[in-house]
Amino acid sequence: MASNNDDNLDQNDSERDLYAILHISRDADTTTIQQAYRRLTLLYHPDKHQDLRTKQLAMNLFIQIKNAYDILNDPEKRAIYDIIGMKGLKTEGWEIITRTKTSREILDEYERLIKEREEKRFNQITNPNSSVYATINLTDIFINDGLPKIEITDFNVEQNIDISLTNQDTTTINANVTIRNGRGIGTLTTSFRRIFSDLSWFRIDLIFGQRPYIGLYYFRRITQKLHANVHTTFSLIKNRKTIITSGFIFSLNYQLTHNLTSSLQWKTGRNSFMKGILQYDKQKWMISSAIQLGFVNTFAAIDGVYKFPDICNLRCSLKTYFNPFGIKFSETNDRSEKYF
């Protein structure tokens, strides 16, 4: 008998026959199971053996007997084991099962739990997330003495999926649909990013939509607080036979304090500009100011965001444009709802 139980030790949990461990038939009733358990635990109790090898063997057999009894003496666990086996007992979520379930219902429940586990594993790998944004224009409140006209100027729905290929390589797929002033557009973006070291990375974006283009990005950490990046885009125009670029954007970012950062940007090519940004971020709220000098757009701006975690972001911004014909003010409020 000891030899048979020793063979059981060499089997993994999914291969062991719990009825064989207790030396009972598969149709044994509760009384028979309890009697077999008492008899075998007395026989293989470790305290009854003095030899170290025999004591260790008895301990292993005692644990097997206890585990087999805990399963077969529980009607719900025994039903799962009889129909599915040990793999069914290792599946999370069986707390909801009742002893009145039939074999077919138990199998259906097992398949549902397996499907949920696979979906959870897929979500952990791809890290999908969705977001919905709405922009509300409140400008009329400040320029009209009568009943103001409040309108939703932008409405955006976005879905994003990240796929880790290796420790250094990541692919991202992004789908975006935007309705702006009554017109809708959609884009599909596929990105590939490679991390060269803890100091730098490179990314390429392929954007498909109304105007397909390719984006190239490079990031480099210079010091612990100072980092630089550069990016550019290449677009296809004129029946997609001509490739043009909008220029390069060079950026330097420096962290002044734990919450305060500064940034200097320079854009080359068409609509070139120089921009300075100062941003203060306190996790729940953020405020930033910017001054841009350019041939087309010269402005000063203040932007504030208050974050309601997992609910929405409330954004307010004020811009003052400077041009040869005078000064123009612009104020917007943006309430962005998020769904994950």
Residues 6 or more apart in contact with residue 74 via CB below 8 angstroms:
none
Q: Position of tokens 């040990």?
A: 86
**Distance between CA atoms of 178 and 155, rounded to whole angstroms?**
6
284-309 pLDDT, tens digit each: 899 999 999 998 889 999 999 888 87
**Distance between CA atoms of 272 and 238, rounded to whole angstroms?**
23
Share of the chain above pLDDT 90, in %: 25
Nearest to 92 by CA among 123, 58, 66, 115: 115
Higher model confidence: residue 265 or residue 59? 265
At 146 the pLDDT is 73
At 262 the pLDDT is 95
127-174 pLDDT, tens digit each: 778 888 888 877 777 777 777 777 888 888 999 888 888 888 889 999
Mean of the per-residue pLDDT values for the chain? Answer: 80
Contact (CB, 8 A) for 36 and 23 = yes
Residues 6 or more apart in contact with residue 7 via CB below 8 angstroms:
none
Among 180-184, 204-208, 211-215, the minimum mean pLDDT is found in 180-184
Q: Position of tokens 């953020």?
A: 286
User: Cα 93 from chain centroid?
Assistant: 23
Q: For residue 16, what are the CA distances in angstroms to 6, 25, 32, 69?
A: 12, 14, 20, 13
Residue 72 in tokens: 């077969």
Helix (H) or strand (E) holding 314: strand 312-323
For CA atoms 39, 42, 45, 50, give the dihedral sign.
negative
At 3 the pLDDT is 41
At 102 the pLDDT is 59
4-15 pLDDT, tens digit each: 444 443 344 545
Higher model confidence: residue 150 or residue 96? 150
**Distance between CA atoms of 50 and 42, rounded to whole angstroms?**
15
User: Cα 152 from chain centroid?
Assistant: 29
Q: Which value, in Å, is the radius of gyration of the alpha carbons in the chain?
A: 33
Q: What is the mean pLDDT of residues 113-140?
A: 75
At 266 the pLDDT is 95
Contact (CB, 8 A) for 292 and 315 = no
**Distance between CA atoms of 95 and 98, rounded to whole angstroms?**
8
Higher model confidence: residue 278 or residue 62? 278
At 239 the pLDDT is 65
Rounded to two decimals, what is the model's pTM? Answer: 0.52
Burial of 333 (0-12, 13-18, 19+ CB in 10 A): middle
Task: List, in order of start, the domains of the chain with CATH numbers.
Answer: 2-123 (1.10.287.110), 256-340 (3.30.1300)
Among 90-94, 108-112, 175-179, 311-315, the minimum mean pLDDT is found in 90-94
Rounded (10°) CA dihedral 266, 267, 272, 276: -30
Neighbouring C-beta atoms of residue 112, cutoff 10 Å: 12
Higher model confidence: residue 336 or residue 40? 40
